[in-house]
Structure 1
Amino acid sequence: MTASVLNHAPSRRWRAGVTTALTVAAFAGSTLLASSPADAATIEAKALNIAASKHGDPYRYGAAGPNRFDCSGLTYYSFKHAGKSLPRTAQAQYNSVQHISKAALRPGDLVFFHSGGSVYHVGIYAGGGRIWHAPYTGSYVKLEKIWTSAVWYGRIR
């Protein structure tokens, strides 16, 4: 881990309390349980919780956990440990999910960032226009606002 990541990554003790509060807040205002089958809601909720529990873990290209992640590694790890398998890369994940509209988006869905027809980044939607993701080298897993309109949305089948 680099010094800059250590200086910016929250401590594990702080992370545990904030992670729980952020995840509860994301689900409190959602219609997740009312609008989806119970099994899907449970998997989505678990995956979102797992991603949130990794808050502060450093980004590493090609990593899929348990303590370092790239973007698709975080989604892969989170859903795998929630009981659903996904392909390993962002593009392959996009190709494997049910594509949905922004209006249908709910916490636990995937948000895919694209340029033209190619997906280059993925995160797990947390509600309120925010995603849990592992953004880039030198950063760490964090909750962040979606910063562009060049996104597609997907739901795990």
Structure 2
Amino acid sequence: MDFESLIKKMTRAAVQGNGSTVVDCFTVDGVYHDVFYGDFTGRNIARMIEDYFHRDGKNFRWDIFDPVEQRNKGYARYVFSYDSRLKNFENKRAIFEGVAICTLSNGKISDYREIATATTGLALMGFPPAKISKFVAREADALVKRPESASHLTTSSTRS
């Protein structure tokens, strides 16, 4: 399956709450790195979709734009939205955009991660600045721990 068909199949299934179809888009040991919920591997991806994704949101929309595939990588820009089910934020609409970054193997996703402006969604829902700041700090920590960030962190650089 080409990447555009694969990513659209995966996102349609996620929006519908169909965890088993999402899993079918991944290799057996594929990993989904979710910006909110963390890392899920293999069949546990279905649990993330069904037990977390749809627990905390409803009325999802996930539009894919400009998917590109080269060698074993797929990239796709997206706009994502949902109505919150979270206590104190019920029915607030979250909207954000991002880029899906997929490693591909034999027509399936072996690794899915995303760069997302999730803080815009949190702000639109009315999250307090302190909670948004905590989310940003977690994202910053994850970025500096990735191997590709090492050369950007020199002994002369400081972090607050």
- TM-score normalised by structure 2 residue count: 0.26
The structure whose Rg is larger is 2
Structure with a larger share of its residues in strand: 2
- TM-score normalised by structure 1 residue count: 0.26
Greater relative contact order (Cα < 8 A, sep 6+): 1
